[in-house]
């Protein structure tokens, strides 16, 4: 399944890495994207780390803070835990908007 297939199925879905403070959602998928720049984590290792941090399907996420001028890192609340991560890593987390 292509990486953006889930987003095509649900046009309201968005990537955590594109979110800003105050944005909320529910995780619908965690992807293992191809490795980026030199020194980046292997895709499977990144997916495992995200899962260990609590980025699992159904978890509620809220973006709390972002680096200077919308840069890295971003701080997010995952259920009752707070985590900071790079936007490039957060791009592997697909969210659906939280139901009102």
In angstroms, rounded to a whole number, what is the distance separating the alpha carbons of residues 59 and 45? 20
pTM of this prediction?
0.81
Q: Which CATH class is domain 5-97?
A: mainly beta
In degrees rounded to 5, what are phi and psi of residue 58? 95, -15
Question: Could you read off the pLDDT tens digit of each residue along the chain, which spans 100 residues?
Answer: 444 554 556 789 999 999 999 999 999 999 876 655 545 678 888 889 999 999 999 999 999 999 988 788 999 999 999 999 999 899 999 999 987 6
Show me where the domains of the chain are located: 5-97
25 burial (CB, 10 Å; 0-12 / 13-18 / 19+) is buried
């Amino acid at each position: 399944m292509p990486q953006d297939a889930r987003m095509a199925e649900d046009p309201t879905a968005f990537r955590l890495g594109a979110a800003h403070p105050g944005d909320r959602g529910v995780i619908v998928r965690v992807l293992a994207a191809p490795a980026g720049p030199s020194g980046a984590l292997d895709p499977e290792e990144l997916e495992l780390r995200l899962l260990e941090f609590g980025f699992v399907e159904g978890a509620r996420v809220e973006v709390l803070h972002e680096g200077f001028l919308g840069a890295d890192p971003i701080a997010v609340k995952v259920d009752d835990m707070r985590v900071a991560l790079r936007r490039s890593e957060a791009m592997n987390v697909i969210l659906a908007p939280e139901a009102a």
